[in-house]
């Protein structure tokens, strides 16, 4: 079996060090009666000004007029934002649909009118840092980094570790850092940067062994399961490598690549998804 370096490294996306489990951090066993739940974590780059979206201030309040900016330390200036492209300027009022308990900023108008009833907004989280890198890793793991290094496992990794190894790709990470400290390898995020990157992971490479050669290699691996477990597997490295090889083979044999080939014009469902989410024809984008 061809062992692609990138695939193995992806399967081995484990952070260095150990993860000390205290009693209240002990992993919980998944309830077999509970349905398998899927979670989507989205991290938005940019979006500097929360005053425009999730944590606005009332522009009609005297407290937040420009004349009081020295005291409030806030200057909204929504009416001065030039959106370009012939678009009109921002609505300079807060957006609060009937039934919503909170108001949103002007850039949230479309989202708010359609989804406020499905949303929970948490305000006032203290990031305790001015560093983008540190703040991002704080949000990814839920733990303050040690210096600039991530501390602990990504939240998706922790969820999958508790759910168990229940699907071929239980943890997919697209253009987002992912960490695994102390959990089994199956919980590690499969990290990709584009659709092309994912497709290359889900199919055999151009130099992979063909049918007969693959059968011989797999037979040899069954007959000689361990190279030298005493000298090479003391810390579990060989076991980790073998698990990574098996996982890579499962990924390829699953034929999941067809579900992500958005340039397949014969598949109407994929074509509809591509149009709806504006997926570019260049899958490397």
Note down pLDDT in tens along the chain; length 285 residues: 344 444 434 433 333 332 333 333 344 455 556 677 899 998 877 666 788 889 999 988 999 988 898 999 888 887 777 766 656 566 778 999 999 999 999 888 888 989 999 999 999 888 899 888 999 999 999 999 999 999 999 999 999 999 999 889 999 999 999 999 999 989 999 999 888 888 888 888 788 888 888 888 888 877 876 665 667 777 777 777 777 878 888 888 888 888 888 888 899 999 999 899 888 877 665
Position 284 in a domain? yes
Element (H, E) at 166: none
Residues 173, 216 share a domain? yes
Closest of 269, 247, 230 to residue 170, by C-alpha: 247
Position 38 in a domain? no
Residues 59, 11 share a domain? no
Total of domains in the chain: 2
CB 13 within 8 A of CB 247: no
Q: Which residue has the tokens 């034929």?
A: 255
Residues 234, 177 share a domain? yes
Give the C-alpha separation, 125 to 131, whole Å. 15
Position 283 in a domain? yes
Closest of 155, 176, 196, 144 to residue 44, by C-alpha: 176
Residues 99, 6 share a domain? no
pLDDT (0 to 100) of residue 40: 93
| Domain assignment of residue 107, given as a range | 50-118
Residues 106, 214 share a domain? no
Residues 275, 171 share a domain? yes
Residues 6, 99 share a domain? no
CB 189 within 8 A of CB 172: yes
Q: Which two tokens stand for residue 44?
A: 């938005």
Position 39 in a domain? no
CB 105 within 8 A of CB 79: no
Q: Three-state SS for 182?
A: coil
pLDDT (0 to 100) of residue 118: 93
Residues 70, 7 share a domain? no
Element (H, E) at 50: none
Instruction: Identify the domain boundary among 81, 96, 118.
Output: 118
Position 88 in a domain? yes
Give the C-alpha separation, 58 to 92, whole Å. 9
Burial 8-27 (b: 16+ CB within 10 A, else e): eebbbbbbeeeeeeeeeeee
Residues 106, 62 share a domain? yes
Residues 69, 5 share a domain? no
pLDDT (0 to 100) of residue 238: 77
pLDDT (0 to 100) of residue 10: 43
pLDDT (0 to 100) of residue 172: 95
Give the C-alpha separation, 181 to 189, whole Å. 12
Residues 261, 205 share a domain? yes
Q: Which two tokens stand for residue 113?
A: 């009118």
Closest of 198, 174, 173 to residue 188, by C-alpha: 173
Position 265 in a domain? yes
Position 190 in a domain? yes
Residue 172 neighbours by CB under 8 Å, 6+ apart: 189, 190, 192, 198
Position 192 in a domain? yes
Q: Which residues, listed in sequence order, are joined to residue 192 by a DSSP beta bridge?
A: 174
């Amino acid at each position: 079996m061809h062992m692609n370096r990138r695939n193995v490294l992806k399967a081995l996306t484990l952070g260095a060090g150990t993860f000390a489990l205290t009693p209240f951090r002990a992993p919980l066993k998944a309830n077999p009666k509970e349905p398998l739940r899927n979670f989507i974590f989205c991290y938005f780059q940019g979006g500097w000004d929360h005053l425009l979206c999730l944590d606005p201030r009332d522009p009609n309040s005297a407290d937040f007029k420009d004349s009081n900016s020295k005291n409030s330390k806030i200057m909204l200036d929504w009416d001065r934002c030039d959106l370009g492209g012939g678009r009109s300027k921002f609505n300079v009022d807060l957006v609060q649909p009937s039934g919503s308990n909170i108001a949103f900023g002007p850039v949230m108008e479309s989202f708010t009118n359609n989804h406020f009833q499905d949303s929970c907004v948490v305000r006032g989280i203290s990031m305790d840092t001015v560093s983008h890198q540190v703040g991002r890793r704080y949000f990814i793991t839920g733990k303050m980094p040690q210096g600039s290094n991530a501390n602990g496992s990504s939240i998706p990794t922790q969820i999958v570790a508790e759910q168990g190894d229940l699907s071929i790709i239980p943890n997919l990470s697209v253009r987002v850092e992912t960490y695994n400290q102390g959990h089994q390898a199956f919980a590690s995020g499969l990290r990709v940067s584009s659709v092309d990157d994912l497709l290359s992971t889900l199919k055999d490479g151009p130099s992979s062994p063909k049918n007969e050669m693959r059968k011989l290699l797999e037979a040899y691996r069954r007959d000689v399961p361990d190279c030298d477990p005493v000298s090479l597997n003391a810390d579990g490295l060989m076991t980790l490598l073998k698990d990574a090889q098996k996982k890579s083979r499962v990924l390829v044999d699953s034929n999941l690549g067809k579900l992500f080939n958005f340039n397949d014009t014969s598949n109407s469902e994929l074509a509809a998804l591509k149009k709806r989410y504006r997926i570019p024809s260049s899958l490397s984008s």
